[in-house]
């Protein structure tokens, strides 16, 4: 009697689909290379995966726009199909699954029960806590309760997108739903943040693949992002960087500089302060990335990117907080008030000085 | 809030407020000081006093013919690093954009690589200036904490600026944050130290010149 697909190892699954050992090693080596891992990791990764049972993955969507999942479905290497059919067992995903209502809830409970302590929990979207969590609820349970329950049995949590990693747009001022990132709710599990709005698909699949093949959390930066993908800034790897060094900047989106592909620093590009792999892995199977299309980086993979002033203000600009009031006017208001206070102090100081002078002259009179 | 956000946000606001307050305070306190009434009859007209004051601003900005051999090198050094500083502060594109965000106007800048060369030259001149100060016995005697701290804080701004541009030692974000923070520190120190000479130098020369011209002396 043939084994059910859940009981097969990844290697057996691959053989069923006619994928050779050599082909699988090539695929793993390509993934390892994309993650800047040593070449020998590819073979080790392939061997580990071939012998392993397909790890369970539970994908929960909270306060989000589904853009991250849309991005994930556009992964070219590895493709989402090869990932979920051959490498992992996607046991719950409310966007892809056919089940709905009670059946879907039952599927989630079953997935958690069957793989308790072993599954990878992927979170997409921020977690609203305002109004008792009522802003995002499914099956009568709030997102925050679902997260806490699902996190208990997770081997690790992968936060896909800036919303789950840092709160993203829902957390932006004034944060009406009391949104938080996963790290603010769950503190006792390994968490990997794959930020971006949305993240690069290959970065999501690459991170998942590395974790399920090695069972280890990759090297992370201070924001818990894999260093392999978030170790460099967009600016450091940007093909327009030489123009920055030469001082050649586009002044508007349709001027001579923009047509010549000069640096977009003056137009507010956040590349110098944004850590991501856009300039190297790129998008749509390595076709291009936003700067290549003529628009500056928005800094979407950084915490608080939505509240960092205008997307079109240069990096070296003063940060005057809330938008809506022109910066020069705020400067004038601030410096005007300070000058007025200084003038009062100046007049008072001169007055005291004159008084002392007058007294000393009076006392020196014979 | 990271270091960069802090440096160019709340820290910059406080620094600009302290700078404006301090400059207004010290200028007014200085301008309103009582000058003892000169009871002597003026040698010349009020007009001559005023022109004498204005001429002094020019004449004192250039080495005196008699002393050019002794003071020329020092003055050349002083002019060179001031020109370098102005070029770096006013003609580096990120600086222009920074000032533009504060005041609403921008202008053309120099290529970043040229600014880097000017920065390194200015930095070298700055070290030479310090060397001159500590090796010259008279200058050493005249110098106090204010001189050295003003030198240090200006140097800090330049070094962190070069490091940020060249991406030396840390990420651009961190280096830019440190650089702007050092500018904030300079703005806070500015009105209370000898950096205030930027505001005092010409009025004090003019006043001295006018007072001397009233007595019939040229300076």
Would you kindly state where each structural domain of chain B is located, as residue ranges? 3-28+71-215
Q: CB-CB: which of B16, B27, B97 is closest to A314?
A: B97
pLDDT of A66 reads: 94
Q: How far is B172 from chain A (nearest CA, A)?
A: 6
Integer Cα distance of B10 and B7 in angstroms: 7
- Average confidence (pLDDT) over A293-297: 95
Task: Return the pLDDT at B160.
Answer: 94
Predicted structure pTM score: 0.72
Q: How far apart are CA A75 and CA B173, in angstroms?
A: 30
CB B124 within 8 A of CB B155: no
Q: Which of residues 336-365 of A touch B (CB under 8 A)?
A: 337-343, 345-347, 349-351, 353-354, 357
For range A313-332, the mean pLDDT: 67
Mean pLDDT of chain A: 86
Is residue A323 very low, low, confident or very high in pLDDT (cuts 50, 70, 90)?
very low
Residue B101 pLDDT class (50, 70, 90 cuts): confident
Check CB contact of A244 with chain B, cutoff 8 Å. Answer: yes
Nearest Cα neighbor of A157 from A119, A104, A113 is A119
| Predicted pLDDT of residue A1 | 37
**Mean pLDDT, chain B, integer:** 89
ipTM over 0.85: no
At A326, the pLDDT band (50, 70, 90 cuts) reads: low
**pLDDT for the residue A325:** 54
Q: Three-state DSSP class for A62?
A: coil
At residue A217, the pLDDT reads: 92
Residue A94 phi/psi, 5-degree rounding, is -70, -15
Q: What is the DSSP string of A277-313?
A: STTTT-BTTTTB-GGGGT-----TTSTTGGGSS-TTS
**What angle is formed at CA A169 by the lines to CA A165 and CA A172, rounded to 5 degrees?**
105
pLDDT of residue B91: 93
Position A71 scores a pLDDT of 93
| Highest mean pLDDT: which range of A137-141, B164-168, B183-187 | B183-187
pLDDT over 50 at A29, yes or no: yes
Superfamily (CATH H level) for B3-28+71-215: Transmembrane di-heme cytochromes, Chain C (1.20.950.20)
- Give contacts of A321 with chain B, Cβ < 8 Å: 9
A257 touches chain B (CB under 8 A): no
pLDDT-derived band at A364 (thresholds 50, 70, 90) equals low
Other C-beta atoms lying within 10 Å of the C-beta of residue A66: 15
Mean predicted confidence (pLDDT) in A194-199: 96
CB proximity A272 to B under 8 Å: yes
Question: Which residues neighbour A64 within 8 Å (Cβ) at sequence distance 6 or greater?
Answer: A124, A125, A126, A161, A163, A164
- Tell me the shortest Cα–Cα distance from A191 to chain B, in angstroms: 21
Mean pLDDT of A197-216: 89
Position with higher pLDDT, A121 vs A273: A121
Rounded Cα distance between A54 and A7, Å, is 8
Residue B136: partners with Cβ closer than 8 Å, 6 or more residues away? none
CA–CA dist B182, B179 (Å, integer): 5
Which of B22, B29, B89 should we substitute to test contact with A (largest number of A Cβ atoms within 10 Å)?
Answer: B29
Give the per-residue pLDDT at B97. Answer: 85
Q: Per mean pLDDT, which range of A10-24, A172-186, B30-44 is the poorest?
A: A10-24
Chain B hits for A353, CB-CB cut-off 8 Å, are 29, 33-34
Retrieve residue A9's tokens: 């190892």
B5 contacts on A by Cβ (under 8 Å): 304, 308, 319
Which pLDDT score is estimated for B194?
A: 94
CB neighbourhood size of A93 (10 A)? 21
Between residues A53 and B69, the one the model is more confident about: B69
């Amino acid at each position: 009697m043939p084994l059910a697909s859940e009981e097969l190892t990844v290697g057996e699954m691959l053989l069923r689909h006619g994928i050779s050992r050599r082909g699988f090693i090539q695929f793993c080596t390509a993934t390892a290379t994309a993650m800047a891992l040593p070449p020998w990791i590819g073979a080790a990764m392939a061997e580990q995966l071939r012998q392993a049972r397909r790890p369970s993955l539970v994908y929960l969507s909270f306060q989000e726009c589904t853009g991250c999942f849309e991005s994930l479905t556009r992964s070219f290497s590895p493709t989402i199909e090869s990932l979920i059919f051959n490498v992992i067992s996607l046991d719950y995903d409310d966007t892809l699954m056919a089940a709905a209502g009670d059946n879907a809830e039952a599927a989630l409970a079953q997935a958690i029960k069957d793989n308790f302590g072993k599954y990878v929990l992927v979170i997409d979207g921020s977690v609203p806590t305002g109004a008792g969590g009522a802003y995002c609820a499914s099956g009568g349970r709030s997102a925050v309760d679902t997260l806490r329950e699902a996190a208990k049995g997770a081997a690790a949590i992968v936060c896909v997108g800036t919303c789950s990693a840092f709160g993203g747009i829902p957390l932006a001022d004034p944060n009406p739903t009391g949104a938080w990132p996963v790290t603010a709710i769950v503190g006792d599990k390994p968490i990997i943040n794959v930020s971006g709005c949305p993240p690069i698909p290959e970065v999501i699949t690459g991170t998942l693949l590395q974790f399920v093949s090695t069972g280890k959390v990759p090297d992370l930066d201070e924001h818990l992002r894999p260093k392999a993908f978030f170790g460099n800034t967009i600016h450091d790897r940007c093909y327009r960087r030489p123009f920055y060094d030469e001082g050649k900047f586009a002044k508007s989106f349709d001027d001579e500089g923009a047509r010549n592909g000069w640096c977009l620093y003056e137009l507010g590009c956040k590349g110098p302060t944004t850590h991501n792999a856009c300039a190297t892995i790129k998008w749509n199977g390595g076709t291009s990335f936003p700067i290549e299309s003529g628009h500056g980086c928005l800094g979407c993979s950084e915490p608080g990117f939505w509240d960092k002033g205008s997307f079109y203000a240069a990096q070296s600009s003063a940060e005057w907080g809330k938008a809506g009031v022109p910066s020069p006017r705020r400067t004038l208001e601030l410096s005007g008030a300070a000058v007025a206070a200084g003038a009062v102090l100046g007049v008072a100081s001169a007055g005291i000085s004159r008084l002392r002078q007058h007294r000393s002259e009076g006392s020196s009179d014979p | 809030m990271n270091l960069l956000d802090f440096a160019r946000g709340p820290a910059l606001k406080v620094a600009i407020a302290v700078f404006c307050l301090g400059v207004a305070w010290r200028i007014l306190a200085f301008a309103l000081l009582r000058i003892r009434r000169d009871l002597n009859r003026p040698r010349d007209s009020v007009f001559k006093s005023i022109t004498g004051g204005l001429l002094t601003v020019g004449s004192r900005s250039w080495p005196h013919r008699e002393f050019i051999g002794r003071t020329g090198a020092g003055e050349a050094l002083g002019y060179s690093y001031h020109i370098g500083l102005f070029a770096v502060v006013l003609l580096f594109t990120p600086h222009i954009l920074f000032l533009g965000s504060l005041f609403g106007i921008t202008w053309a800048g120099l290529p970043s690589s040229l600014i880097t060369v000017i920065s390194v030259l200015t930095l070298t001149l700055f070290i030479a200036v310090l060397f001159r100060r500590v090796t010259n016995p008279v200058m050493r005697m005249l110098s106090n904490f204010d001189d050295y701290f003003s030198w240090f804080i200006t140097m800090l701004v330049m070094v962190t600026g070069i490091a940020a541009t060249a991406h030396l030692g840390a990420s651009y974000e961190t280096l830019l944050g440190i650089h702007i923070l050092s500018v904030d520190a300079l703005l806070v120190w500015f009105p209370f130290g000898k950096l205030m000479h930027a505001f005092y130098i010409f009025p004090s020369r003019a006043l001295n010149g006018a007072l001397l011209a009233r007595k019939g002396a040229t300076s």
